[in-house]
Structure 1
Amino acid sequence: MKFLRQVLESFRFAWQALKSNITRTILSLLGVTVGIFAIVAVFTIVDSLERNIKESLSFIGDKVIYVQKWPWGFGGEYQWWKYFQWPEPTFAEYKYLYENMESASAVAVMDFRGNTTLKNGSNSITAQIQGVSYEYNQISDIPIETGRYFIPLETSNARNVAVVGADIASALYPGQDPVGKPFKLAGNKFTIVGVQVRKGESLVDFGGSPDKNCIIPFASFSKLFQSGRRSADIVVKGFPEDEGMQEVEAEITGLMRTKRGIKPRDGNNFSLNRPEAAAQAIAGLFAVLTVAGWVIGSFSILVGGFGIANIMFVSVKERTNLIGIQKSLGAKNYSILFQFLFEAVMLSLVGGVVGIFLVYLLSFMPMGTLEILLTPGNILLGLAVSSVIGVLSGIIPAMLAARMDPVTAIRAK
């Protein structure tokens, strides 16, 4: 009860100090406001960017390895011209991995063809065609809004069926349910069996927008676009318990070397690409942006901290006589210390809250495809930094006030 009374009394003194000179208070808090705004804004934007890009990467899959000719980024064990001599992965190699992999939860094959026209009467749209095997939905996220995904018989028998993106559905059949209805692809009649959930525009769309993606069975894709060569990308998904994907990577390497007849002394002639490489590059960029936010914000907070310290020194001087009266009436040193420290923290928190509120207003500004979302974690970060700055700025003035001699303080004018 005594502690609560001291808190309320300290709050009353702090509020009176705030009201006594509004202009001085506002100017003192500007530094903290700008600093907290800079830090929280950068963290919020970085979090929003990271969330947006991770959503764009969801189609790549989690805990997967892509078996391809080209590595994702050069600088590996070979010079770039060496990769030209390597063969493309084939459908036969996919079947070999599919039948022999033991450490994989799913093995799929896929290939792309961009800028292909889909037609339904006078309606048409240019889209990306993706041929996949049945297991692809175990590797990549394909959310279906209406209809369904393929059944095994459709993919194995090269049926002309398709799962289309939302933009394709609305372009070919505006205002209608397209499931079960036909369209023309490369002069062939296909039937829509499913429509994906609309994703909308993203800041980055790796592999194209899912809303303009037409997924068909790989065997149908091969007949239309591959002219018998049947090369493709092989995708292998590991089990959750395979940390680091070491087991599945080792098995892929062994099986591919066996299938291609690579001698023990020769190096691999295929690339094993992981989505983590792209994620790590993105994480490095976000780390730089985060550090930049801390640096920019720190300078403003430093100025704000000096401003609060200055206002606290002035407050101690103005209330020296009152401090002497309080101590002569029995007030303890810690009570005086807590009173001024509470005032400094409150001043800093007011500046921090204003800065956080400005970030909240920023989330309503149109940012194109980037959705700014102020998370509770970033709000707590801003409040915590404000509190720390308040304590650091107010501790010396508060200690000076607490150590004053009551007789000398009462005589002060």
Structure 2
Amino acid sequence: MIYLRLIAESFRFAWQALRANLLRTILSLLGVTIGIFAIISVFTLVDSLERNVRDSMSFIGDKVIYVEKWPWSTGGSYPWWKYFQRPEATEQEFRMLERRITTGTGVAITASRGGNTYKQGNNSYSNGNLTGISYDYPKVSEVPIADGRYFTPQESEAARNVIILGDEIATTLFPYSSPIGQTLKVAGQKFTVVGIIEKQGENIFGMPNMDQMGMIPYSTFSKMFDVGPRGIGSSIVLKGREDDPGLLELEYEARGIMRNIRGLRPRDEDSFAMNRPEMIQEAIGGFFQVVGLGGWVIGGFSILVGGFGIANIMFVSVKERTNIIGIQKSLGAKNYFILFQFLFESVFLSLLGGGIGILLVFLLTLIPQDMMKITLSVGNIILGLGVSAVIGMLSGIIPAVLASNLDPVIAIRSK
């Protein structure tokens, strides 16, 4: 009960100090407000940006390895012409990996061609991607069908002219009717629409996604275009198991099978690259860490100024209430009571400033954004309030200790 009374008494003193010197308090809290606003706004933007980037790359897949000619990250001083001389991944290699791999849950092959024009009647869509995928592609990467269906095994094996459209292409070509069962023309061939992919929406970097893509069976794609060593390159995609951390088992087995298929000797370098989406995600994570550090530096200076402002308020408050402190101590108030009273006031003022900063960030998230949805997470709210509380404690500890150690007789005599 005494602790509740102590908290209520401290809160009353803090509120009185705030009302008695409103302008001074607002000016002093401005530093904390700006500092918390800077830090939390940067973290909120970074979190939202990172989430949107990862969502934009979701079509690449999760826990997968891409067997390709070119590595996604070369690094070092490795000559580019060695990559150029490598052979492309082939359908024959895909079939052999599909039969022999034991540490994965799925194997697929895919190839893509950009700059295609889709036509249907008087409607057309330019610069769309056309991607060929094997039947088991959904085992390695999600293909979210919103309407219609996926290819049948017979359509895939027989190289039928069936297509699954991205939402943007479907909306452009068939604005007033359902595309399912209707025909369109792309790359000089007629296709029957069997499915529509769920709308993915725009992404922040303008990266192509499934909205601007049409998917056809890989066998159909290879029949239409020159897929191979001198034509369009293919990618073999391997899906790992959940109980294979880091996909090490899958990578070791796939590397061994590929080296055996290509007849490489033990001392020969790999003639293929094994790419992972984690390579890009790690690079993105490193970039966002630097941005987050910048937010701490920018906000730190403002918080430092705000901390000095709160400390100044507390020193003035101790000076103004020295007589009251003497009376309280003469009536039996313990040192910890006085200490807690001023420390609570300091933390309360700092939390108030931090809360206003977080409120400003929240108001920013309400502004509609077409490219990126900005969300203030609970973690960032807790971080902002936690930093505010720490700044309040550090700013108020010295004035609170000075107040608690005042001699009651001398304090009562002060004016």
> If the length of structure 2 is used for normalisation, what is the TM-score?
0.97
Amino acid aligned to 1:408? I
When the two chains are superposed, the root-mean-square deviation of aligned CA atoms in Å is: 1.3
CA contact (8 A) 2:68 2:274 kept: yes
Residue ranges of structure 1 left out of the alignment (5+ in a row): none
| Structure 1 residues 71-90: aligned runs within 5 Å | 71-75=71-75, 78-90=78-90
Task: After superposing the two structures, state which structure 1 stretch, 250-259 or 223-232, moved more.
Answer: 223-232
- Shift of residue 263 of structure 1? 1.4
Separation in 2 of the partners of 1:186 and 1:346? 68
> Which residue of 1 is the match for residue 259 of structure 2?
257
Structure 2 partner of 1:283? 285
Give the whole-Å Cα distance in 2 for the aligned partners of 1:186 and 1:233.
21
CA pair 205-217 structure 1, distance change in 2 beyond 3 A? farther
Q: Does 1:360 align with 2:387?
A: no
Given the alignment of the two structures, is residue 65 of structure 1 paired with residue 65 of structure 2, yes or no? yes
CA distance in structure 1 between the aligned counterparts of 2:103 and 2:228, rounded to whole angstroms = 30
Q: In 1, distance between residues paired with 2:42 and 2:125?
A: 39
Match of 2:240 in 1: 238
* C-alpha deviation, 1:227, in angstroms: 6.2
Answer whether contact 1:91 1:231 (CA < 8 A) is retained.
Answer: no
Structure-2 residue corresponding to 1:179: 180
Report how far residue 380 of structure 1 moved: 0.8
Q: 1:140 to 1:47 in 2, by over 3 A?
A: same
The residue aligned with 2:116 is 116
Aligned to 2:412: 410
Alignment partners' CA distance in 1, 2:144 and 2:409: 77
Kept in 2, the 8 Å contact 1:43–1:293? The answer is yes
Q: CA deviation at 1:45?
A: 0.4
In structure 1, the partner of 2:332 is 330
Q: Which runs of 5+ in 2 are unaligned?
A: none
CA contact (8 A) 1:29 1:348 kept: yes
1:106 is matched with which residue? 106
Aligned position for 2:313: 311
The whole-number CA distance in structure 2 between the counterparts of 1:18 and 1:340 is 13
Instruction: Give the letter for the 1:308 counterpart.
Output: I
Residue in structure 2 matched with residue 142 of structure 1 by the alignment: 143
Q: How many residue pairs end up in the alignment? A: 412
Q: CA deviation at 1:157?
A: 1.4
Q: Kindly state the Cα deviation for residue 191 of structure 1 after the two structures are TM-superposed.
A: 1.0
Q: Is the 8 A contact 1:360 1:374 kept in 2?
A: yes
Q: Which residue identity is paired with 1:129?
A: L
- 1:72-127 CA-to-partner distances (Å, cap 9, x unmatched) read 12225832221111111111111111111111110000011111111111111121
Alignment partners' CA distance in 2, 1:118 and 1:360: 43
Structure 2 counterparts to residues 181-200 of structure 1, below 5 A: 181-200=182-201
Give 1:228 shift: 7.1
CA contact (8 A) 2:59 2:209 kept: no
Counterparts of 1:63 and 1:209, CA distance in 2:
19
The answer as to whether partners of 1:344 and 1:393 remain within 8 angstroms in 2 is yes
- The answer as to whether partners of 1:56 and 1:205 remain within 8 angstroms in 2 is no
Quick one: distance in 2 between partners of 1:258 and 1:204?
A: 40
CA distance, structure 1, for counterparts of residue 227 and residue 150 of structure 2: 26
- Structure 1 Cα separation of the partners of residues 72 and 212 of structure 2: 24
* Identical-pair percentage: 57
